[in-house]
Amino acid sequence: NKKASVQRGGVNIANKTIEDIVTRIQDETEGVPIRTVKSFMTKIPSVVTGTDIVQWLMKNLFIEDPAEAMHIGSLIAAQGYFFPISDHVLSLKDDGTFYRFQAPYFWPSNCWEPENTDYAIYLCKRTMQNKTRLELADYEAENLARLQRAFARKWEFIYMQAEAQVKIDRKKDKTERKILDSQERAFWDVHRPVPGCVNTTEMDIRKCRRMKYPHRVKKSVYGLVEEGTQSRSPIHTPSHHCRKGTKEDVEKEILFLNTQLDRHRMKMSKVAESLISYTEQYMDYDQFVTAQEPSNPWTSDDPSLWDLEASKEPSQQRMKKWGFSLEEALKDPSGQELFLKFLESEFSSENLRFWLAVQDLKRMPQQDVAQRAQDIWAEFLAEGAPSSINLDSHSYERTSQNLKDPGRYSYEDAQDHIYKLMKSDSYTRFLRSNVYQDLLMARKKVSVCLSSSSHRSISVYISCIN
């Protein structure tokens, strides 16, 4: 239950999902075969092969491509949930490489942020044990040297702690120690990764502040209690804006919900049809769905195609879009120009000019707004205005009122009214007009748009050839 698990702990929701997977993958009946492998004179306890993990992921997460399974498996490894026993690099290979599962004690959900003192103890104790498998890698030796310099004053303390840990470890069963040593190493591979590897413990700073356990104290891997006060993690500061539901908040909510209940909703079947028809109309223009003619400047490596577009000679394909909606025509500067030209021929260009003026008004710097609003009134709405537009009395009254305190939204009603007028009246005539149709024909060329695959929607459009 994802919702319930989000409440648990301060770890992101992805870790919960991964932990479910990691638990399932180790299940005796449904999981991978974890076994002890005999090798030369030794036994390798509790391992599974990379291939076993990849196969399990493919089957249980319904992954078709082994590459995808390896990718997600590598990420789960990088988070520290399983690891290759002979490598510090946490990734998943689809072969006989042996992997072991991490102990839940070391899982990220325990909110580990181990300090350098713990890391120093760990590296130190590794050098104390005479085992080839515990030899420090180059980068670890460098880290140890650095830590020795940084902790010069308390190195005796660290050394003693390392000795104590070695003593504790020696008391454990040989096989158990092998397993624990590898798990401990894998833990440090996550928190002190090999140089060049991704540090998966890095957090998005926007999310840091809201860790669920702000009061929590940084705990030590080796049970250390620092002398003096226990340090609180600097990133676990309590949230400044705990939005508790005050009475006003709830009253506002109720008001809002009541307004929402009154909303008119459209049936899903209608909505689906609308979305489908919009997308299908534009799919011919969508570079990721349909190969374009002329081709994509990126693929042809020819940026001059963009300059061509910027010129005042729109292609037929581009002009076709102006027929999709008034919005589309006005969005394109050339479309806007042509529509204006048409309106001039019908002596109704003041409508579009008014609409454009109000668009400009909304884009102005604040200090210029009031004056511009007055100018627009003078040009389009005042008595005897040079470009008088036709508004219904209601809108006119509203607008007149608004102008008493002119702002960038003073003309919203009026603009809306004029837009609807243009859309229902002038625009439809424009599409049938000679101005538009002749130009459309004039940009004639044979354009054939074919997709590369027979499955893809094929769009073929051939304009009139003379």
- Hey, which residues between 281 and 340 contact another protein (CB under 8 A)? 281-283, 285-289, 291-292, 296-299, 303, 306, 309, 327, 330-331
Report yes or no: 325 and 422 within 8 Å, Cβ to Cβ: no
Footprint of another protein on 194-233 (CB under 8 A): 198, 202, 205-207, 209-210
Residue placing its CB nearer to another protein in the complex, 39 or 199: 199
**Shortest distance (Å) from residue 200 CB to another protein:** 9
Instruction: Tell me how many residues contact another protein (CB under 8 A).
Output: 96
CB 12 within 8 A of CB 207: yes
Q: Which stretch binds another protein (CB under 8 A): 8-16, 29-37, 345-353, 397-405?
A: 8-16
Using the minimum distance from each CB to another protein, give the nearer residue, 133 or 210. 210
- Closest approach, Cβ 368 to another protein, in A, equals 9
Q: Which one of 156, 226, 273, 397 is in contact with another protein (CB under 8 A)?
A: 273
Comparing CB distances to another protein, the nearer of 72 and 90 is: 72
For another protein, which is the closer residue by CB, 365 or 386? Answer: 365
Residue span binding another protein (CB under 8 A) among the ranges 105-113, 133-141, 217-225, 247-255: 247-255
Q: Which is nearer to another protein, 22 or 221 (CB)?
A: 22
Is 8 or 43 the residue whose CB approaches another protein more closely?
A: 8
Contact pattern from residue 447 through residue 466 relative to another protein, giving x for each residue in contact according to CB under 8 A and a dash for the rest: ----xxxxxxx---------
Residue where the block lists tokens 């400044």: 240
Contacts of 321 (CB under 8 A, 6+ apart): 285, 328, 329, 332, 335
User: CA-to-CA distance for 80 and 355, rounded, in angstroms?
Assistant: 60
Q: 34-63: which residues touch another protein (CB under 8 A)?
A: 57, 60-63
Least distance from another protein to the Cβ atom of residue 260, Å: 6
Give the helix ranges, DSSP H, for 65-111.
66-78
For another protein, the closer of residues 129 and 336 by Cβ is: 336
Q: Say how far apart CA 35 and CA 46 lie, in whole Å.
A: 5
Nearest distance from C-beta of residue 227 to another protein, angstroms: 33
Which residues, including other chains, have CB under 8 Å from residue 364's CB and lie 6 or more apart?
A: 372, 408
Closest approach, Cβ 45 to another protein, in A, equals 29
Between 41 and 261, whose beta carbon lies closer to another protein? 261
Complex with another protein: residue 39 or 279, whichever CB lies closer: 279
What is residue 380's three-state secondary structure?
A: helix
Q: Of 133-172, which residues contact another protein (CB under 8 A)?
A: none
Q: Which of 23, 231, 279, 437 binds another protein (CB under 8 A)?
A: 279
Query: CB 313 → another protein: shortest distance, Å?
Result: 17
The H or E element spanning position 3 is: helix 2-7
Residues 352, 344: Cα–Cα separation, whole Å: 10
Cα–Cα distance list, 52 to 28, 73, 80 (Å): 14, 11, 18
H/E stretch holding 44 reads strand 42-49
**Distance in angstroms between the alpha carbons of the first and the last residue of the chain:** 67
Q: What is the 3-state secondary structure (H, E, C) of 201-269?
A: CCCCHHHHCCCCCCCCECCCCCCCCCCCCCCECCCCCCCCCCCCCCHHHHHHHHHHHHHHHCCCCCCHH
- Map the footprint of another protein across residues 77-136, applying CB under 8 A: none
**Alpha carbon distance 100, 81 (integer Å):** 9
